[in-house]
Structure formats: C-alpha cells, structure tokens
C-alpha cells in the first residue's frame, strides 16, 4: 500500500498550458504539503494544509493554486505554465504540524517545453 501517492508521475506539456497534480495519503495524517525540487535538487516548501486549512503559503506565483477537498487529498493546479516551472513536485504529509517528520510521495516530474 502506497502511503502518499501522486499522479501523474511524469508530465510533459507546452508553455501556457494548465495542468494539475493530485496527491492522496492513506496515513490518516492531518497535515499535507507541496514541495518543489529544482534541477539542482534544492527542495523548497510551497504550501502546507492542516485539516483542509492553508497554513503555509510561501512566495510562489499565484498561477499555483492548491486545493484540499478533504484532509487526505491535496491537489496542485498550475495555470499558464512557464519554462521555469519545470521541476519535480513532491507531496508530503505529517501526523501534525511542527514535527518535521514528513512522509513523501515519489514525486511528479513536470517538464515544460
């Protein structure tokens, strides 16, 4: 059983398109996150939700919009894709906030052409 699952695993698209990445966790965790890993492997938090409420919203373009329909799901929608959006996007979850103990999905590699 996959604890944190993301779909799709690979996404290749043209500039200007809109795309979504879905994330689901079956761990019963309250908190979910989106992280972006660039080509140099640097990881940075984008968003965090606790019980469907947004608690962290880092400085990301407003083309990125997270949505949490329930506490087991956190989706990421990206409008008007740009070349610089190419990266691996990781979803993660934790039992509660401030533990630092995150469970990560396997990542979604987005390539914008």
Partner 1 sequence: AQSVTQLDSHVSVSEGTPVLLRCNYSSSYSPSLFWYVQHPNKGLQLLLKYTSAATLVKGINGFEAEFKKSETSFHLTKPSAHMSDAAEYFCVVSYNTDKLIFGTGTRLQVFP
Q: Candidates 18-26, 60-68, 79-87, 102-110 — which segment interacts with partner 1 by CB under 8 A? A: 102-110
Which of residues 12, 15, 44, 51 is near partner 1 by CB under 8 A?
44
Which of residues 40, 59, 69, 84 is near partner 1 by CB under 8 A?
40
Which of residues 25, 48, 68, 75 is near partner 1 by CB under 8 A?
48
From the CB of residue 34, how many other CB atoms can be counted at a distance below 10 Å?
Answer: 26
DSSP state of 71: T
What are the angstrom distances between the C-alpha of 45 and each of 6, 16, 17, 55, 59? Answer: 16, 24, 23, 12, 10
Letters for 82-101 (x = contact with partner 1 by CB under 8 A, - = none) are --------x-x----xx-xx
Question: What strand order describes the sheet that includes 73-78?
Answer: 4-7, 19-25, 73-78, 64-70
Give least dist CB 31 to partner 1, A: 7
- Judged by the rule CB under 8 A, the positions of this chain that interact with partner 1 are 4, 31, 40-45, 48, 55-56, 90, 92, 97-98, 100-107
């Amino acid at each position: 059983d996959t604890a944190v699952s993301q779909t799709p695993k690979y996404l290749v698209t043209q500039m200007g398109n809109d795309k979504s990445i879905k994330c689901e966790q079956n761990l019963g965790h309250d908190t979910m996150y989106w992280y972006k890993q660039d080509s140099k492997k640097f990881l940075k938090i984008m968003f965090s939700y606790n019980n469907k409420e947004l608690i962290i919203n880092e400085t990301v373009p407003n083309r990125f919009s997270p949505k949490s329909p329930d506490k087991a799901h956190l989706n990421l929608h990206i409008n008007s894709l740009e070349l610089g959006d190419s990266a691996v996007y990781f979803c993660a979850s934790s039992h509660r906030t401030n533990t630092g103990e995150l469970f990560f999905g396997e990542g979604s590699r987005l390539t914008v052409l």
